[in-house]
Amino acid sequence: MLTERRKHKRFPHGGVVWFGESAVTLTSGTVADVARFGLAFTCAAEEQRPQTGQRLFIQFALYPDASHRFHDEPGTNRIGRVCRVEELPDESYRVAVNLDQPLPGLH
Protein backbone atom coordinates (compact mmCIF):
# COMPACT_ATOMS: atom_id res chain seq x y z
CA MET A 1 0.00 0.00 0.00
CA LEU A 2 1.28 3.48 -0.90
CA THR A 3 2.11 5.92 1.86
CA GLU A 4 0.39 9.20 1.07
CA ARG A 5 2.96 11.95 0.59
CA ARG A 6 0.93 14.44 -1.42
CA LYS A 7 -1.03 17.36 -0.01
CA HIS A 8 -3.64 17.10 -2.76
CA LYS A 9 -5.90 14.22 -3.75
CA ARG A 10 -4.58 11.70 -6.29
CA PHE A 11 -6.58 10.89 -9.41
CA PRO A 12 -5.89 7.62 -11.26
CA HIS A 13 -4.90 8.14 -14.88
CA GLY A 14 -3.33 5.37 -17.00
CA GLY A 15 -2.44 7.39 -20.09
CA VAL A 16 0.88 7.80 -21.86
CA VAL A 17 3.49 10.24 -20.55
CA TRP A 18 6.52 11.51 -22.42
CA PHE A 19 9.44 12.68 -20.29
CA GLY A 20 13.03 13.80 -20.71
CA GLU A 21 15.52 16.53 -20.01
CA SER A 22 14.11 18.50 -22.96
CA ALA A 23 11.28 18.29 -25.48
CA VAL A 24 13.79 16.77 -27.93
CA THR A 25 14.89 13.79 -25.80
CA LEU A 26 11.58 12.23 -24.76
CA THR A 27 10.99 8.68 -23.52
CA SER A 28 7.55 7.18 -22.92
CA GLY A 29 6.01 5.79 -19.76
CA THR A 30 2.56 5.21 -18.26
CA VAL A 31 0.92 7.68 -15.89
CA ALA A 32 -0.17 6.03 -12.63
CA ASP A 33 -1.90 9.04 -11.11
CA VAL A 34 -1.94 12.83 -11.02
CA ALA A 35 -2.49 15.42 -8.30
CA ARG A 36 -2.60 19.21 -8.36
CA PHE A 37 1.20 19.59 -8.08
CA GLY A 38 2.33 16.03 -8.74
CA LEU A 39 2.49 13.13 -11.13
CA ALA A 40 3.52 9.49 -10.75
CA PHE A 41 4.38 7.27 -13.69
CA THR A 42 6.07 3.98 -14.47
CA CYS A 43 8.80 3.42 -17.03
CA ALA A 44 10.57 0.35 -18.36
CA ALA A 45 13.84 -0.76 -16.81
CA GLU A 46 15.59 -0.77 -20.18
CA GLU A 47 14.94 2.96 -20.59
CA GLN A 48 17.28 5.46 -18.96
CA ARG A 49 15.49 5.98 -15.67
CA PRO A 50 15.18 9.44 -14.16
CA GLN A 51 17.23 10.22 -11.05
CA THR A 52 16.02 11.80 -7.82
CA GLY A 53 16.49 15.58 -8.07
CA GLN A 54 16.56 15.57 -11.89
CA ARG A 55 14.46 18.21 -13.68
CA LEU A 56 12.20 16.78 -16.37
CA PHE A 57 10.11 18.11 -19.23
CA ILE A 58 6.84 16.17 -19.08
CA GLN A 59 4.08 15.91 -21.69
CA PHE A 60 0.78 14.06 -21.29
CA ALA A 61 -2.97 14.49 -21.78
CA LEU A 62 -5.42 14.96 -18.93
CA TYR A 63 -8.75 13.24 -19.42
CA PRO A 64 -11.80 13.70 -17.22
CA ASP A 65 -12.55 10.95 -14.75
CA ALA A 66 -16.04 9.53 -14.32
CA SER A 67 -17.21 12.62 -12.41
CA HIS A 68 -15.62 15.06 -14.91
CA ARG A 69 -13.60 16.79 -12.19
CA PHE A 70 -10.78 17.88 -14.46
CA HIS A 71 -9.84 18.40 -18.08
CA ASP A 72 -7.19 20.08 -20.14
CA GLU A 73 -6.11 20.34 -23.73
CA PRO A 74 -4.33 17.24 -25.06
CA GLY A 75 -0.60 17.65 -24.78
CA THR A 76 -0.28 19.19 -21.31
CA ASN A 77 3.33 20.29 -20.81
CA ARG A 78 4.96 20.73 -17.42
CA ILE A 79 8.41 20.96 -15.88
CA GLY A 80 9.04 19.16 -12.62
CA ARG A 81 11.63 17.71 -10.26
CA VAL A 82 11.89 13.97 -9.59
CA CYS A 83 11.32 13.45 -5.87
CA ARG A 84 11.34 9.64 -5.76
CA VAL A 85 12.26 6.63 -7.92
CA GLU A 86 11.24 3.14 -6.79
CA GLU A 87 12.15 -0.15 -8.45
CA LEU A 88 9.07 -2.36 -8.88
CA PRO A 89 8.95 -6.19 -8.72
CA ASP A 90 8.74 -6.44 -12.54
CA GLU A 91 12.02 -4.44 -12.74
CA SER A 92 10.27 -1.33 -14.05
CA TYR A 93 10.39 1.94 -12.11
CA ARG A 94 7.76 4.13 -10.48
CA VAL A 95 8.77 7.79 -10.68
CA ALA A 96 7.18 10.58 -8.61
CA VAL A 97 7.53 14.15 -9.81
CA ASN A 98 6.76 17.49 -8.12
CA LEU A 99 5.42 19.83 -10.80
CA ASP A 100 6.45 23.50 -10.97
CA GLN A 101 2.93 24.58 -11.98
CA PRO A 102 -0.39 23.13 -10.81
CA LEU A 103 -2.58 21.06 -13.08
CA PRO A 104 -5.85 22.84 -13.84
CA GLY A 105 -9.05 21.72 -12.15
CA LEU A 106 -7.38 19.47 -9.58
CA HIS A 107 -7.83 20.34 -5.91
pLDDT digit string, tens, across residues 31-80: 999 888 999 999 998 767 899 999 999 998 876 554 444 544 457 899 99
Task: Kindly write down the DSSP assignment for every residue of 64-106, as one continuous string.
Answer: --TT------SSEEEEEEEEEEEE-TTS-EEEEEEESSPPTT-
CATH number for the domain formed by residue range(s) 11-99: 2.40.10.220
Chain mean pLDDT for the chain: 82
pTM of structure: 0.82
Task: Return the domain boundaries, the chain.
Answer: 11-99
pLDDT for residue 30: 92
pLDDT for residue 2: 57
pLDDT for residue 5: 60
